[in-house]
């Protein structure tokens, strides 16, 4: 089975946490050809993140945004990196806390997520724009 | 070498951090057939986590529980998602901070962990019950 | 394409966050033989971390050190694991928050990182010494 690798851009989103499971799956019709394998998604930025989160209630994503603003606040006194705006250093910290990649099992041609799991894009800049992702599909 | 993928349930645990290295290895006798490769473990829940931590002193796991309760406390004023109980929103946050998957090298038929490393199940709900894991083994 | 796996030591660093992209790439000339694939790096310690971060401005790495000292401070009252010094329990927590492995796409013989991304070694002990890494390269 050949390896599949493609690069694509996610639609721009406002600052916050966004479900992108369907947008990702639409970019990867090749998933259907994999009986068992893995999908690796890698976002090529240090001020956005990819993670797995609850897929049903938008209030969870809103609370993620509030809470990560507590964990990595703007304008903390100890920041020295502030030339790119108050949202920049917190964005780097959130990206590191949440991670820039996810690896998800593929089973019988589909992402084998739990019932309540979805792929979160964490957009941590005020105006992050479109974000590039490299997807690698491996399996058989 | 064919890919190996199986799904299994971890025994239910109380809220806290638990070493599950041996339980996982018992589910995967196929590891012995891999000379060099990777094991990917994926927990299909958004209120539990998988991570790598210190395997020797139970006080480390106790301190993880105390400290993640500080990082993602119950009843924070900014939470809006509270319909499922005070342990629910913190559980989602802990799962995102720690991650829902680990990838571990396999070398000469065994998990190639460091001397002091083990696989942690983070059970972040008061009554999480049995947790489902998808294991994918690849290599040669 | 055979799987490649090797173990090597990173040069010792002082406590803090350090860019190790070039040191890792020098250890892995085999990357050049991979058209599309993945590199998995796994640090065999629970008091150091591997993550992806901003590669240009050293002030970002300095702020990471300051901020993770806030997120996992020394001498927190709730720590019970203190026999190995005040930097030990925070180091375990930082390692879990940041992670002990990264998986990076390989494209056309090179790590396919974004323009501003680099590999961070988080050295979370005062005197951590040389850290062992297991690198697994897969692809075609």
**What pLDDT, in 10s, does the model give residues A28-44?**
999 999 999 999 999 99
What's the mean per-residue pLDDT of chain A? 97
Q: How far is A34 from chain B (nearest CA, A)?
A: 11
> Which pLDDT does position B17 carry in this prediction?
98
- Chain C, window 58-97: residues with a beta carbon less than 8 angstroms from a chain B beta carbon: 71-72, 76, 78-81, 89, 92-93, 95-97
> Which pLDDT does position C2 carry in this prediction?
84
User: In angstroms, rounded to a whole number, what is the distance separating the alpha carbons of residues B92 and B64?
Assistant: 16
Of all residues in chain C, the percent with pLDDT exceeding 70 is: 100
Residue B105, pLDDT > 80, answer yes
Tens-digit pLDDT profile for residues C12-62 = 999 999 999 999 999 999 999 999 999 999 999 999 999 999 999 999 999
Residue A92, classed as helix, strand or coil, is helix
Of all residues in chain A, the percent with pLDDT exceeding 70 is: 100
> Which pLDDT does position B63 carry in this prediction?
98
Residue C1, pLDDT > 80, answer no
Burial class, C83, CB count within 10 angstroms (exposed 0-12 / middle 13-18 / buried 19+): exposed
Q: Which one, of A35, A37, A5, A2, lies nearest residue A139 by Cα?
A: A37
Q: Which one, of B26, B57, B25, B45, lies nearest residue B122 by Cα?
A: B45
Q: How far is B80 from chain A (nearest CA, A)?
A: 6
Nearest to B38 among C44, C97, C136 (CB): C136
Q: Can you read off the two tokens belonging to residue A36?
A: 């068992």
Residues of C in contact with A74 (CB under 8 A): none
Residue B1, pLDDT > 80, answer no
Cα–Cα distances (Å) from B53 to A29, B58, B116, C57, in that order, read 37, 11, 8, 30
> Which pLDDT does position C83 carry in this prediction?
87
pLDDT band of A83, cuts 50, 70, 90 = confident
CB spacing of B81 vs A71 below 8 angstroms: no
Residue A1, pLDDT > 90, answer no
ipTM at complex level? 0.97
* Span B99-121, average pLDDT: 98
**DSSP letter assigned to residue A36:** E
Q: How far is A64 from chain C (nearest CA, A)?
A: 16
Report the neighbours of C using a cutoff of 3 or more CB pairs below 8 angstroms: A, B
Residues present in chain A in total: 140
Cα–Cα distances (Å) from A20 to A50, A111, B71, C32, C122, in that order, read 9, 13, 26, 32, 30
For chain C, say whether B36 makes contact (Cβ under 8 Å).
Answer: yes
Name the residue with higher pLDDT: B37 or A82.
B37
Residue A78, pLDDT > 80, answer yes
Residue to substitute from A10, A40, A42, interface C, most C β-carbons within 10 A:
A42
Tens-digit pLDDT profile for residues B53-72 = 999 999 999 999 999 999 99
């Amino acid at each position: 089975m050949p390896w599949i690798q493609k690069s694509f851009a996610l639609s721009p989103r406002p600052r916050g946490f966004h479900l992108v499971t369907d947008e990702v799956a639409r970019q990867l019709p090749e998933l259907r050809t994999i009986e068992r394998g893995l999908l690796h998604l890698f976002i090529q930025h240090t001020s956005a993140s990819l993670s797995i989160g609850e897929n049903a209630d938008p209030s969870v994503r809103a609370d993620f945004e509030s809470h990560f603003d507590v964990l990595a606040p703007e304008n903390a006194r100890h920041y020295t990196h502030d030339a790119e705006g108050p949202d920049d250093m917190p964005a780097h910290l959130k990206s590191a806390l949440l991670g820039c990649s996810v690896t998800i099992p593929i089973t019988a041609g589909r992402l084998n997520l739990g019932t309540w799991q979805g792929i979160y894009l964490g957009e941590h800049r005020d105006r992050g724009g479109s974000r590039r992702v490299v997807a690698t599909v491996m399996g058989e």
